[in-house]
Amino acid sequence: MDNPWEIFSNWSFKNEKHPQLTDWGIFGGFAEPLATAYLSRIQTLKVLTDEWNTKLKQFGGEPSTYNWMKFRPLRLAREEDWSDWLIYLFSESSSGYLAFDLFKIPGLPAKSLSHPIIAEREILTAGYRADIILQWQNRTFLHVEVKIGDDALDKTFETANALRKHFNATSDNWHDCILLLESQRSSWVSIAERQNHKITCITWDDAALSLRRSLIHSDETITWKVWAYSLLGAVEQRLIGMKTIHNKGDIELIQKKINILQRGLENGF
């Protein structure tokens, strides 16, 4: 046989059936609504940014447009640094608005939360250390634990009990609060459910809102507001993640910024 492959010459490998290709056209209909939603949010964000630029013109305009990631005048590396900033603003407040709007202590008006008679950091007692202790003229105490990612949340309850005993305070004039990242809220809720002691949970998103409201609704001095403005910018960029919008993949961040800018315009009173 001249050609050994000749035996296969009558075989037919022709396939009349062609596999059906997936039709991706159905997803094309989503593109336009998504683009419209994105552009709508961008427009809303622009309007809100312009409004904040006007309201905060004397400080330099909307703080999120400035790069706070390289802010050097004060340290921002540890929880202690953020606590130092906060206690300065609480202790130097002449209106009490920031503490009033942030902590929302029942029955206490803003003016009663100005110029605390005790404003202490890092108080150590019975092996526990408190981040912030405030006491106002009406004898009300506030204990605040400040977190920027620390997972050791359960010790907050032991710390709260130890500090209340240290100051001989009653449950009627003592309040506990924990300030943490939004990403830590679910962990805190699961821990708090197993405790009888009530500790109010607030996030750095709440702190940003109260700082914004303090800047436009309180009668604090310009010096106080300059430091509050600086802390606000640092909080929103470093802790919340409100960086400059770069692309359409940032739609979730855009909505977060819109929510904070919109709610920040509200007056806590």
Question: Which ranges in 69-198 belong to alpha helices (H)?
Answer: 79-92, 97-103, 155-166, 185-192
* pLDDT reported for residue 27: 46
Query: Could you report how far apart the first and last alpha carbons of the chain are, in Å?
Result: 103
Q: Tell me the pLDDT of the chain (269 aa) as tens digits.
A: 555 555 545 555 455 555 555 554 544 555 566 677 778 888 999 999 999 999 999 999 999 888 888 787 888 888 999 999 999 999 999 999 999 999 999 999 999 999 999 999 999 998 999 999 999 999 999 999 999 988 889 899 999 999 999 999 998 899 999 999 999 999 999 999 888 889 999 999 999 999 999 999 999 999 999 999 999 999 999 999 877 655 555 788 888 899 999 999 998 76
* pLDDT reported for residue 26: 47
The CA-atom distances, in angstroms, between 64 and each of 101, 209, 237 are: 21, 13, 7
93, burial (CB in 10 Å: exposed 0-12, middle 13-18, buried 19+): buried
* pLDDT reported for residue 221: 96
* pLDDT reported for residue 246: 53
Beta bridge partners of 177: 144, 200
Q: Residue 64 in contact with residue 236, Cβ under 8 Å?
A: yes
Residue 47: count other Cβ atoms within 10 Å of its Cβ: 12
| Beta strand residue intervals within 47-194, DSSP E | 118-125, 128-135, 141-146, 174-180
* pLDDT reported for residue 10: 56
Task: Measure the CA–CA gap between 58 and 19, rounded to whole angstroms.
Answer: 67
| Tokens, residue 227 | 């430091």
The CA-atom distances, in angstroms, between 87 and each of 9, 98, 126, 204 are: 91, 11, 23, 15
* pLDDT reported for residue 29: 53
* pLDDT reported for residue 119: 95
Instruction: Indicate the residue type of 71.
Output: F
| Closest C-alpha to 85, from 192, 239, 196 | 239
Phi and psi for 18 in degrees, rounded to 5? -105, 135
* pLDDT reported for residue 33: 63
